[in-house]
A and B are shown apart, each in its own frame.
Chain A
Amino acid sequence: MNYSASEEEAGLPDKIALERDVAARLKGFDNHRRNLIPILQDIQDHFLYLAPEAILMVAEHIGIGASEVYGVATFYNQFRFHPPGRHPIKVCLGTACHVRGGDIILENFERKLGISDGETTTDREFSIERVACVGCCALAPVAVVDENIQGHMAPSKVEGIVLGYKIERDRIDRERENEPGEPA
């Protein structure tokens, strides 16, 4: 997996805070096995992925091995084990999008960002995921960037979207640099 930025830099919650938070969430569920998937969903909804510490705590809460929790979690497509980028990109490869060249769109995102599907860029800005039918086949091919659905995708649109974010980021960086009082 493609992430080397240090954890503080990427703004991830530190371990202790994470453990405290997970513990608070676990209180909302009794320790019955049927709660396993809802618990994992709840944790992922909040932290955007399942950290190893969280998996250990869930295992202890339910009273099963961590390997068992991991086994269940990896079975389902929903669960992530690495933090996604700040701007997650989902490329639809459902049937309608496939027929209209969804794989070309995926390839263009991959090329543009230098990562493969399932990975996050080193600056944690973007991650790419392939998904199956987001339900607007009439707009195929479709990609979802952040939460916005982009229909009728084309390679040139990929370029535009990525460029748009880069420009936005540069602007924020510049503003930050110009802020008075901040030591250089």
Chain B
Amino acid sequence: MNPANRPEMTQRFEAIYNEAVARKKALNESSQPMIYIGMATCGLAAGALETRQSFEQTLLEEDLAAIIRPVGCIGHCYAEPVVIIDHPSSGFPPLFYQQVTPGKAKMLVKSFLAGGDPLFEHVLGAMKANDMVPQVTDFPRFSQEERIVMGKCGLIDPEDIYDYIAEGGYLSLIKALTLSQDEIIKEIKNSGLRGRGGAGFLTGRKWGLAKDAQGLKKFVICNADEGDPGAYMDRTILESNPHQVLEGMAICAYAVGATEAIAYVRSEYPIAVKRVVTAISQAEELGLFGEGAQGFFDIKFSVFKGSGAFVCGEETALIQSLEGNRGMPRHRPPYPVQKGLNGHPTVINNVKTLASVPAIINKGAQWYRDIGARQSPGTAIFSVVGSVVHPGLVEIPMGVTLETLIFDICGGIPNKKGFKAVQIGGPSGGCLPADFLATPIDFDSLSGAGAMMGSGGMVVMDEDTCMVNVARYFVDFTQKESCGKCTFCRIGTRHLLDILDRITKGEGREGDLEQLESLALAIKAGSLCGLGKTAPNPILTSLRYFRDEYEAHIMEKRCPAGMCRKLTAYYIDLDRCARGCDACVGSCPVEAIFTTKNRKKGIDQSLCVKCGECMAACPQQYDAVRKVSPPDKAPVIERPVEE
């Protein structure tokens, strides 16, 4: 780009900005109510499309006008489908509604839009301060969050660039273009921003190395391969606010002198891919970037769809797949910043890392440094799932404790169950027991405890979850995803899996635990990339903190949590079973339930697949189905011989 053009550039951007503000103002001033519907994957899964159709249809029937705006995901997965209704002429502030089914949508149109009654029983809270309805930000799920990366997610239309610009979007890019490359890199360095892809490498340092690297050409790649089977924040960000990520990529490209930027998005994320493609073409159309853009920034954006291999999240494997090869990691150094895609210097950053950049450029390094923990400034995003009352995506300042996150923000464990463990970081992370609830969440404290920031996947487990089973699950995953390059990773994980398989089936032997441990350490030492190096973590941490559970499986052939199916049995307590009641019979998928001579029910253990359906089907007042481990604790009830 040509520095002489900068004043003209600022001027041209001002025109675009004014246009965006004018559009927004026109929308706000139209007296029509606005209905915002969360339509990211999670919302759609919960039925947002049907909700939208119901709104449209009822509006038509009632002959009312309203503007329906599809927005992204606000992160409150437990409340999906989420709808925000802004109806100024009713006198109410914008209201946040949860679990808006098509039926509820119909009611809302009839009562609120037509009749002025906002149906308080379905309101979660207000989106603005007022003196009628409590504000959502007063609830712990909102008040303890701090949103830098996800600040606009769920509030703007991800397919409308003007919506982003009206909220201050792309101002940071324009500001960055008036700074020198070194000034930007210094700012990022000073902010202390660490990569959110897992390892926490200092982003400013990475950019500095890339800028200093010699190359005919340089690349910036946004890593949105998100392979952890329990994390989905990167997708949500791309689906809800793709422009913020593009802006971060553009700033990075300018800072390191790259001319090509590639978003590497999993092909399993079709909506994210589509929205990123749309966002790129909109930004190019406005001339913000694109080849040959006059006065603005000369950069070529493209999207590459990852084909579903966990290891391709690793940067060197990712490059291999971009080059059309099997995604096998290679030795580092040389690092991608020196020799990356096609041998050119390449910066690879995670979605969240790049999405943090615009705010840092806009508000300054010091502002960012003041948020979060000393060695880990900024915010962390977790997808908190499993046994919690309010699952979803949470963005918190680093340094918040696990306890606050799980119990205050996400509402604790449902169904009066006890907290058992939390698994952090997906297949590379570890399971932490209750003793660690006071641990602050930051890169170093989590690694110190044996877990890892990793992907930001967080699964909360209650007393019904078996730690051996969970360890087996993750090893099964990494075993399948091992690329096969290193012997220890390829064969070692197979052995780990075989041993865990035996243990969960009640065929564990003395010496198994020692063998698991030594094998795990050998795999860590003998693997080239992070996949193998971290694959044993789920085993090592669960062995450290839940060894007694492994021992119960091996010595007593008992699964204390009652999760390993080979080690449990269901039976029907004849003292509680109601004569003539047939509730469980129809629920059984394998017809294992028979009627005893007394017209009560029994379970044929040879047919039972232990799915637990009968337990759920048994009417509460009888509560007659029992689960026991080991299985021989179930009393034998003979099927009556048919006459």
Contact = CB atoms under 8 A, between A and B. Distances in A.
A66 interface: no
A149 B457 contact: no
Nearest to A74: B326
B611 A108 contact: yes
A137 B232 contact: yes
A76 to B, nearest CB: 4
Interface stretch (A119-127, A151-159, A165-173): A151-159
Contacts of A108: 589, 611
Nearest to A95: B230
B181 interface: no
B589 A136 contact: no
Interface in A109-159: 111-112, 131-140, 142, 149, 151, 154-156, 158-159
Most buried by A among B325, B477, B613: B325
A131 B232 CA distance: 14
Interface in B308-329: 308-309, 321-327
B187 to A, nearest CB: 34
Contacts of A71: 326
Given A107-B609, A156-B613, A138 B589 contact: no
Nearest to A94: B229
A145 B609 CA distance: 23
A154 B613 contact: yes
Contact of B44 (A32, A94, A140, A149): A149
B274 to A, nearest CB: 13
A99 B229 contact: no
Contacts of A104: 609, 611-612
Contact of B230 (A37, A62, A133, A149): A133
A84 B469 CA distance: 31
Contacts of A88: none
A158 B323 contact: no
Contacts of A136: 41-42, 45-46, 77, 80
A41 interface: yes
B299 to A, nearest CB: 19
B267 interface: yes
A6 interface: no
A137 B385 contact: yes
B32 interface: no
Given A95-B426, A96-B459, A137-B232, A33 B324 contact: yes
B383 A131 contact: no
Nearest to A36: B324
Nearest to A132: B229
A140 B616 CA distance: 16
A93 interface: yes
B386 interface: yes
B590 interface: yes
Interface residues of B, number: 56
Given A34-B322, A95-B473, A99-B470, A138 B385 contact: yes
A101 interface: yes
B307 A78 contact: yes
A38 interface: yes
B391 interface: yes
A111 B613 contact: no
Contacts of A47: none
Nearest to B586: A156
A141 to B, nearest CB: 11
Nearest to A112: B589
A35 interface: yes
B45 A142 contact: yes
B324 A34 contact: yes
B534 interface: no
> Considering residues A107, A136, A159, which has the most beta carbons from chain B within 10 angstroms of its beta carbon?
A136
Contacts of B613: 154-156
Given A78-B307, A136-B45, A99 B611 contact: no
B461 A138 contact: no
Q: How large is the interface on A (under 10, 10 to 19, 20 to 34, 35 or more residues)?
A: 35 or more
A163 to B, nearest CB: 12
Contacts of A158: 589
B307 A76 contact: yes
Contact of A77 (B41, B236, B309, B323): B309
B268 interface: yes
A112 B590 CA distance: 10
B45 A149 contact: yes
Of the candidates B267, B387, B461, B589, the one having the most CB atoms from chain A within 10 angstroms of its own CB is: B589
Contacts of A133: 228-232
Interface string A26-54: 00000011111110110000000000000
Nearest to B383: A137
Contact of B465 (A62, A99, A137, A138): A99
Contact of B589 (A79, A134, A151, A155): A155
Contacts of B321: 37, 76
Contact of A132 (B477, B589, B590, B611): B477
A72 interface: yes
A59 B588 CA distance: 51
A139 B80 CA distance: 10
Contact of A135 (B41, B423, B483, B609): B41
Nearest to B77: A138
Given A133-B232, A151-B45, A96 B589 contact: no
Nearest to A150: B45
Contacts of B461: 99
B587 interface: yes
Contact of B423 (A79, A95, A139): A95
A134 B321 CA distance: 23
Nearest to A149: B45
Contact of A95 (B229, B392, B589, B616): B229
Nearest to A75: B326
Contacts of A95: 228-230, 385-386, 423, 426, 457, 459, 473-474
A77 B308 contact: yes
A112 B465 CA distance: 27
Contact of A159 (B230, B232, B589): B589
A98 interface: yes
A72 B41 CA distance: 29
A76 B317 CA distance: 12
B78 interface: yes
A75 B45 contact: no
B305 interface: yes
B78 A33 contact: no
9 contacts: A37-B321, A41-B267, A75-B309, A94-B229, A95-B230, A99-B470, A101-B611, A136-B45, A138-B385
Given A79-B307, A94-B229, A133-B231, 9 more contacts: A34-B322, A37-B324, A75-B309, A78-B307, A94-B230, A96-B385, A104-B612, A108-B589, A132-B227
Interface of A: 32-38, 40-41, 62, 71-72, 75-79, 93-96, 98-99, 101, 104, 107-108, 111-112, 131-140, 142, 149, 151, 154-156, 158-159
Q: Pick the 5 closest A-B CB pairs, nearest first.
A: A95-B230, A76-B307, A132-B229, A36-B324, A77-B308
